[in-house]
Amino acid sequence: MNVAAARARRSGPETSAMVLPVLGVIILLAVWQLIGTADFLGRSIPPPTDVVSAMQDNWTVLKRALSATLGRALVGGAIGYAIGLLLALMMVVFPASTKSVERSGVLVNAIPIVALGPVLITMWTRPYIPVIFAAMSVFLATMLAVGDGLRAAPRSSTDMFGVFGAKRRATVLRLQVPTALPMAADALKLAIPAAILGAILGEWFGSDRGAGVLMVSAMRNVQYGLLWAAAVLAALVSVVFYGTASLLERFASKRFGRATELTDTRVASRPGVIGIATVAMVVVVVALWQLWIMTGDVPQIVAPKPVGVLGAMFDNRFDLGPALTTTSLAFGGVVAGAVVGLVLAVLVTMLPWLRSMLAPLALLVPTIPIVVFIPIMGSVLGYGTQTVFAACVLMAFFPMYVFALSGLHARPPGSDDLFAVYGVGRFRTLAYLALPSAVPTLMVAVRLAAASAFLIALSAEWLMGRGGLGRVFSERRVVLDTNGSWAAVVVAISLSVLAYAGATKLEKVATARWRT
């Protein structure tokens, strides 16, 4: 019997397995209703009943906003997905290009997309920002997953095709593409929340309608019911599309067999080479930029010269303060989120009933674009750095929890029996076996969190108008200081890439030490 069927069976209609998750959802809704009606945490948390009535009252507005966002997410997501597929195919057709394509992809992905917002706003790209962000949020994961899939054909099959003298085209079409289909469906599944996230982020950079705009205006006009209604509906749309893609993925896995699991550990290695690639790419980008300004006669207000931006970075109006603020918010948020996630994962490992109760949450959260929570957090916690911090914590918490949970169970084969034969108790097993086993997986989570920490910190800062670099973007833009806003962009991108490289290095060290 295959894995999918076994999984279906496990989640089958066994009452005991169903009760706790349902109970978990009911408790969550009840607590929310209680907090909402009793105003424990202020007016900004409306009870679920109010959210539902806000949905009914504002149905037309919500429908128009969501369909705009969904349209952008789908167009952008499709473009990003197509680019990812093409790049993956290119890597297979020209294997020599694999390393450089992958490295540049990882590098581009380490750039927080919002940092490009202030740049894209000044150019013809302005109306397409949501689409561009959606595409950028999708392409890398697609490229890596499909690339893996295309290379995942078993060695014996490749050899068999070789022995029969199959042409390259036949090998690609009849072996590699079918092998890659489950992974391509998997990537499609992951692309959906990512594209919606990109579209909403993009809408914050001056779009006139869409769910992102609606959320921000509801936040500023203290329409909490509408704000939550928009966030809940955006999350629901994401869940529905994710669910559809999951069915597709399950079908593809069943029909074509699954050769590999989706991993993102593979591209983690070789930070040194990534460093060199970074420098090379920066040089090329700066040269093209200078050339564009010189030949195109671009007005200063649209795009400044590299020299001007460099000047602004060292100018007395620009100090290290904002960069430090953003870095400490992002870093602190990742650390706090990681600790909370790890502690919860350990608790859940020790208390299986808690795990069952949290299961629906663990299933839903990855399907929801996390940025929909930022305006809500702003309205609950206040428009300041505390919200920026909380957003980073939330962002880091979830991957940490999920990865820690699987890491705590990724023990060396046979070690559980060994510990049982020595009569080892739970706590000692945790200390000697589960926690050390989880280290490599935890490092993957830290790396992923490091990449998105700056993205979330900058988005929240931009939206709140508080904090570090994100606030600087918006302030400089208002006073038409293009040099200044681009300088902030350059600093943000550099910090983000550095953080990613640091986390990658950390992961490599930990993996070498802890993995078999």
Partner 1 sequence: MPSSSTELTARSTMITKGIEFSGVSKSFTTRAGSVQALVDFDLTVDDGEFVAILGPSGCGKSTALRIAAGLEHADAGGVRVGGSSPEKMISAGSLGVAFQDNALLPWLSVAANIALPYRLTSRPVDKARVDSLIDLVGLADFSSHRPSQLSGGMRQRVSIARSLVLSPRVLLLDEPFGALDAVTRHRLNVEFAGIIAKEASTTLLVTHSVEEAVFLADRVVVMTGRPGRVKLVAPVAFGGQRTKALMATPEFVQLVLQLTMALDDDAGVDE
- Residues of this chain that interact with partner 1 (CB under 8 A) are 1, 6, 9, 412-415, 417-424, 428, 432-433, 436, 439, 513-516
Is 209 or 409 the residue whose CB approaches partner 1 more closely? 409
CB under 8 Å to 62, separation ≥6 — which residues? 55, 214, 226, 229, 230, 233
Task: Note the helical H segments in 94-167.
Answer: 98-110, 113-121, 129-150, 155-163
Least CB distance from residue 4 to partner 1, whole Å?
Answer: 13
Q: What are the DSSP calls for 304-357, one per residue?
A: --HHHHHHHHHSTT--SHHHHHHHHHHHHHHHHHHHHHHHHHHHHHH-HHHHHH
C-alpha pair distances (Å), 423 with each of 95, 419, 420, 428: 52, 6, 5, 10
Is 104 or 415 the residue whose CB approaches partner 1 more closely? 415
Q: Are 231 and 362 in contact (CB under 8 A)?
A: no
Q: What are the DSSP calls for 200-212, one per residue?
A: HHHHHTT-SSSHH
Tokens of 445: 């989570």
Least CB distance from residue 246 to partner 1, whole Å?
Answer: 23
Instruction: Please write down the long-range contacts of 23-28, taking CB distance under 8 Å and 24 or more positions apart.
Output: 23/357, 24/356, 24/357, 24/358, 24/359, 24/360, 24/361, 25/360, 27/357, 28/361
Is 32 or 419 the residue whose CB approaches partner 1 more closely? 419
Phi, psi of 132 (to 5 degrees): -65, -45
Least CB distance from residue 429 to partner 1, whole Å?
Answer: 9
Query: In which residue are the tokens 């109006």 written?
Result: 317
Is 95 or 412 the residue whose CB approaches partner 1 more closely? 412
Least CB distance from residue 416 to partner 1, whole Å?
Answer: 8
Q: Counting Cβ atoms within 10 Å, is residue 353 exposed (0-12), middle (13-18) or buried (19+)? A: exposed
Secondary structure E strands in 369-508: none
Q: How far apart are CA 33 and CA 39, in angstroms?
A: 10
Least CB distance from residue 409 to partner 1, whole Å?
Answer: 15
Residue 498: half-sphere exposure toward Cβ, Cα within 13 Å = 10
Least CB distance from residue 25 to partner 1, whole Å?
Answer: 29
Is 59 or 432 the residue whose CB approaches partner 1 more closely? 432
Least CB distance from residue 11 to partner 1, whole Å?
Answer: 14
Q: What angle do CA 126, 467, 139 make, to 5 degrees?
A: 40
Is 40 or 432 the residue whose CB approaches partner 1 more closely? 432
Least CB distance from residue 422 to partner 1, whole Å?
Answer: 4
Is 211 or 434 the residue whose CB approaches partner 1 more closely? 434
Is 187 or 404 the residue whose CB approaches partner 1 more closely? 404
Least CB distance from residue 399 to partner 1, whole Å?
Answer: 22
Q: Counting Cβ atoms within 10 Å, is residue 187 exposed (0-12), middle (13-18) or buried (19+)? A: buried
Is 354 or 410 the residue whose CB approaches partner 1 more closely? 410
Is 347 or 418 the residue whose CB approaches partner 1 more closely? 418
Tokens of 87: 């790049």
Least CB distance from residue 420 to partner 1, whole Å?
Answer: 6
